[in-house]
A and B are shown apart, each in its own frame.
Chain A
Amino acid sequence: MSISKELLKGSTVPMILSLLDRQPMYGYEMIAAIARESGGVFDFKEGTLYPILHALEAEGHVESFWSEDSGARRRKYYLITGSGRGHLAARRAEWARFRQAVDRVLGEGQA
């Protein structure tokens, strides 16, 4: 079952930031982690991840660096910055409020 684009839009950034909060990752790793941890619910177009990452970097929430593996593939890793952590905390709080509010309204509808 695919999730509507509108619902996905607001939560992609916090999901990415929370992944990077644990450790630096490169793009493909992030896609795989999201697919895995969401139990396959989130399976979005992988190319669209990169504009989001680049935009996060422009805003200063993440930094990127190229891994210096000679021989193996040179990968572009992203890591979260202090400002990124602050942004993540704010988005988490926002999500919690949002989720509670929607649940309440939906819940009352069912009763």
Chain B
Amino acid sequence: MTEHPLVQQYIAAVCAEVRCREVHGEIRQELLCHLEDLADRLLAEGTPADRVAAEALAHMGDPAVVGRELNRAHRPRTDWSVIALVGLLVAIGAVALLSVEQSNWWGEGARPGFWLVHLALTAVGLGAALGLVWLDYRLVRQYWWAPFAVAAALLVSLGPRPYDGSLWQLAIYESTPLLFAVAAAGAFARLNWTRPWAWPWAFSLWVVPSYLFFAASSARYFPLYSAVWLVLVLASRPKWPHLAGFLSLWTGMGLVGLLTMKAHHKQRLMIYLNPARDADGAGYMATQSKLALQNAGLWGHGWAAPLDLVPNAHSDLLFTYMTYAFGWAAGAAFCLLFGFFLFRLGRMTLLVREPIGHMLALALLTLLAFQFIWSVLMASGITPILGLRLPFTGYGPQVVAHLAALGLMLGVYRRKDMLPAHNGLTH
């Protein structure tokens, strides 16, 4: 049956209509299998052997019609709602920043005209996103070590130097969580928990970047990366002993850390966790931000309202400024908008069935969601001030990293129906 010229012709006619070549093999196999079953039945019903092929094909229907319909099921996908939402968020961030600039306030790293720099950075980010949409993301599984090595090299070369205010240094810092997240997604896509080396391997995927973050004075990425790592671990379905192993090791490390911590570090940690204890010193930013939010009022203090007491109003605490200037109504609306955006991203992630894509989408979703949630909680004084920024808004090169992450996600989603099947996530 497989070699029959009429059958070959039929399948070729179907595949000719399906633009995505990668799924041709599967379609061929599925249709052949069907035709063989059909042929068996026709033979059993008494059809002469030389007429079986023709009769079976007659049952199948016009190959061009079948092919065209199959093509519709295997086209590139775009989630326009996500693109529209990001556009809106970027626009809102730009407007808020313009208000900051016009309030004539110059905080850390800001100078006159920083709004234009922000626009330029956003444009760079959008360019990066566009390029990444077309990347074949499956490379991430094979070359996961590349982003890992780059991020590690960057952090090692930066070393423990303090932040000197340059955009380039910040750009390097801000790229590392994204690079590590992508690398981890690729590495976890290869992980097989039944192998004995899986556990130490997974653990080092957490330990190495975490250590590098602390060593390069960028400890703020530690909770961010840990969250991404944790999500990837859970998504790869480890066994209970593996999870228990992680928990016990962390408890041990935590205890050792607490016991060996010097007194003044302990004090800083306490203030970190409860800024009110030192409202004029180390807890200043957190307390001021909370006050600003409380004093915002329903409609805010208006365009270009000065908020001198909140440092970093243009970056870390842009959410605080936005709410202060435009009111609780605006702050709540922004949160709802972002929440809806994350919901649509979540839907995209769920629809990606292919394992590498699924891992990558989860990692990127966690990266964006964590930074949003932490930023908002940070502004409200609920979580320690960590220097994580609200995605897509806020001044600084992190906008490029955020948009790049989005581009990667859109790229994963785009190919979701254009790949040959794997044996699904549920098996």
In the complex, which residues of chain A have a beta carbon less than 8 angstroms from the beta carbon of B351? 59-60
Mark the stretch among B24-32, B91-99, B203-211 that contacts chain A.
Answer: B24-32
Mark the stretch among A11-19, A47-55, A94-102 that contacts chain B.
Answer: A47-55
Alpha-carbon separation in the docked complex, A26 to B30 (Å): 9
The verdict on A47 contacting B63 (CB below 8 Å), with A63-B426, A66-B421 known, is yes
Indicate the size class of the contact surface on chain A.
Answer: 20 to 34
In the complex, which residues of chain B have a beta carbon less than 8 angstroms from the beta carbon of A66? 421, 423
B34 sits at the interface (CB 8 A): yes
Alpha-carbon separation in the docked complex, A75 to B63 (Å): 21
Interface residues of A in 57-83 (CB under 8 A from B): 57-60, 63-66, 68, 73-76, 79
In the complex, which residues of chain B have a beta carbon less than 8 angstroms from the beta carbon of A68? 423
Are B61 and A45 in contact, CB atoms less than 8 angstroms apart?
A: yes
Q: With contacts defined as CB atoms under 8 Å apart, how many contacts are there between chain A and chain B in the complex?
A: 85
Are A76 and B26 in contact, CB atoms less than 8 angstroms apart?
A: yes
B74 sits at the interface (CB 8 A): yes
In the complex, which residues of chain A have a beta carbon less than 8 angstroms from the beta carbon of B30? 27, 50, 76
Alpha-carbon separation in the docked complex, A58 to B73 (Å): 7
Q: Is the interface of B mostly helix, strand, loop or mixed?
A: helix
Expressed in whole angstroms, the minimum distance between the Cβ of B181 and any Cβ of chain A is 25
Indicate the size class of the contact surface on chain B.
Answer: 35 or more
Are B350 and A60 in contact, CB atoms less than 8 angstroms apart?
A: yes
B22 sits at the interface (CB 8 A): no
In the complex, which residues of chain A have a beta carbon less than 8 angstroms from the beta carbon of B29? 74, 76
B66 sits at the interface (CB 8 A): yes
The verdict on A26 contacting B73 (CB below 8 Å), with A45-B61, A46-B59, A60-B351 known, is no
Alpha-carbon separation in the docked complex, A27 to B63 (Å): 17
Are A48 and B350 in contact, CB atoms less than 8 angstroms apart?
A: no
Are A65 and B424 in contact, CB atoms less than 8 angstroms apart?
A: yes
Are A76 and B63 in contact, CB atoms less than 8 angstroms apart?
A: no
Alpha-carbon separation in the docked complex, A28 to B77 (Å): 28
Q: Mark B18-57, 1 if CB is under 8 A from A, else 0.
A: 0000000011011101101110000000000000000000
Expressed in whole angstroms, the minimum distance between the Cβ of A92 and any Cβ of chain B is 23
In the complex, which residues of chain B have a beta carbon less than 8 angstroms from the beta carbon of A27? 30, 33-34
B417 sits at the interface (CB 8 A): yes
Q: List 19 A-B contacts (CB under 8 A).
A: A27-B33, A46-B61, A47-B60, A47-B61, A50-B30, A51-B66, A51-B70, A51-B73, A55-B72, A58-B73, A58-B77, A60-B350, A65-B424, A65-B427, A68-B423, A73-B33, A74-B29, A76-B26, A76-B29
Query: Contact residues of B with A, CB < 8 Å?
Result: 14, 26-27, 29-31, 33-34, 36-38, 59-63, 65-66, 69-70, 72-74, 77, 350-351, 353, 416-417, 421, 423-427
Query: Contact residues of A with B, CB < 8 Å?
Result: 26-28, 45-48, 50-52, 54-55, 57-60, 63-66, 68, 73-76, 79
A63-B426, A73-B37 are known contacts; what are 8 more A-B pairs with Cβ within 8 Å? A28-B38, A45-B60, A46-B61, A47-B62, A48-B69, A63-B424, A66-B423, A74-B29
